[in-house]
Amino acid sequence: MKLSGLVERISGEGAEAWDIHITAQRAANAGEDVIVLSVGDPDFPTPAPIIDCAVQALQSGDTHYASVPGRDKLRDTIAADFQSRTGVSTARKNVYVFAGTQNALFSTSLILLDHGDEVIALEPMYVSYEACLQIGGAKLVPVAQPADNGFRPDIDLIKAAITERTKAIVITTPNNPTGVVMTRDELTSIASLAIEHDLWVISDEVYTDVIFEGEHISIAALPDMAKRTVTVNSLSKSHAMTGWRSGWCIAPTSLAQHYDNLALCMLYGLPGFIQEASIHALTDQRDASLAMRDIYQRRRDLVCSELAKARDLPVLKPQAAMYVMVDIRHYFDNGNEFSRALYNATGVSVLDAGAFGKSAYGWVRISFTLSDEKLTEACRRIVQFVGTLS
């Protein structure tokens, strides 16, 4: 029996990258001696007041259909939060609530990108971008942020990739997997290209609240960019709410009706009790992310310090997010071989960074979302493993 062409567009290296993680997670669930550093799921519990808010909403009967675009109060809260952080004039009509950043990005690609369009995506990029951006038949055009330049944007390469079919540029700042935070100059250069060629910009800013060094600047805040920028974000990383699936996009009002029509046949509204908890997270619990950020920074420094004990294993110290990129090219040709050998020898799972883009071939991504004790033990095993290779 034949299947649709969709199945080809949602497969690829990005989807395959999770094989080693799935194997490790199953082993961990079975009680085996493994340490899972291959996923960015915070080990912190969602703050108790946020959980209490959701429970109270459930107990009060908030279990029926909710407003499809999101409740007015939540959209107002998201708009006010974004405006206070960026200075961009933002109202309820600019905000649409989705089931996480992933769903917001998926929906945005369906609305903006048509069959035959090209969309430039700066890589390394999150592994699901390949499928999300090509879901409607558009062509993904990856543009490297070269490893020898610290995985920072190369404006000349971006400019060279623009064609008459280019419809949008997708950026992620702070970046997953590299932890790079784009500077104002870098964003201004990208904005200039978008304006010159009349392109949309889709900006994934989910790690905004997990910055250690540098300043987060939203590209929508640059002159003439709010009208051509869709910003996606969520509470997943800032408030340890990955499983709540509370995300949103902030976009020009010209897109509002189209988001509404799409959500009617796909999502039909985020559950009300989750929306109530999200309002609480963005108001009374807004600063909960600060304590988590400080712990992540300590863990980052711990991992970088411990891995420095290994020979010929360069580490890129991230400015943000919850991952460390490690160059393993001295020992293996690619990260997939290293990841499998490491797991088989030590029970430590890391992610092949090559799945995030060709510029990350020969690197692996290590998540520091576990306790100091587990991270120290995992690094010890990695250093010992590399020592056997030497």
CB crowding 247-258: b at 16 or more within 10 Å, else e: bbbbbeeebbeb
The yes-or-no verdict on residue 43 having pLDDT over 90 is no
The yes-or-no verdict on residue 264 having pLDDT over 60 is yes
| Spatial separation of the C-alpha atoms in residues 109 and 127, rounded to whole Å | 15
Tokens of 337: 């071989």
The yes-or-no verdict on residue 34 having pLDDT over 80 is yes
The yes-or-no verdict on residue 239 having pLDDT over 80 is yes
The yes-or-no verdict on residue 209 having pLDDT over 60 is yes
- Location of each CATH 3.90.1150.10 domain in the chain: 6-45+288-389
| Spatial separation of the C-alpha atoms in residues 338 and 328, rounded to whole Å | 7
**pLDDT of res. 52:** 97
pLDDT tens per residue, range 143-162: 999 999 999 999 999 999 99
- Give the residue-averaged pLDDT of 292-309: 97
- Give the residue-averaged pLDDT of 185-197: 98
**Which residues are bridge partners to 175 per DSSP?**
none
- Give the residue-averaged pLDDT of 47-57: 97
Tokens of 111: 């609305």
pLDDT tens per residue, range 84-103: 999 999 999 999 999 999 99
Contacts of residue 315, defined as CB under 8 A and 6 or more positions apart, other chains included, come to: 303, 304, 307, 308, 324, 325, 326, 327
- Give the residue-averaged pLDDT of 123-142: 91
- Location of each CATH 3.40.640.10 domain in the chain: 48-282
- Give the residue-averaged pLDDT of 64-71: 94
Mean pLDDT, rounded, of the chain: 94
- Give the residue-averaged pLDDT of 318-337: 95
Whole-number CA gyration radius for the chain: 21
Q: How confident is the model at residue 16 (pLDDT cuts 50, 70, 90)?
A: low
The yes-or-no verdict on residue 307 having pLDDT over 70 is yes
| Spatial separation of the C-alpha atoms in residues 74 and 176, rounded to whole Å | 27
Architecture category of domain 48-282 in CATH: 3-Layer(aba) Sandwich (3.40)
**Which residues are bridge partners to 131 per DSSP?**
none
The yes-or-no verdict on residue 14 having pLDDT over 60 is no
Question: Is beta strand 200-204 parallel, antiparallel or unpaired with respect to 229-234?
Answer: parallel
Superfamily in which the 6-45+288-389 domain is placed by CATH: Aspartate Aminotransferase, domain 1 (3.90.1150.10)
**pLDDT of res. 11:** 67
- Give the residue-averaged pLDDT of 351-359: 92
The yes-or-no verdict on residue 17 having pLDDT over 60 is yes
**pLDDT of res. 1:** 79
The yes-or-no verdict on residue 12 having pLDDT over 60 is no
Instruction: Report CA torsion sign: 178, 6, 138, 207.
Output: negative
| Spatial separation of the C-alpha atoms in residues 140 and 134, rounded to whole Å | 6
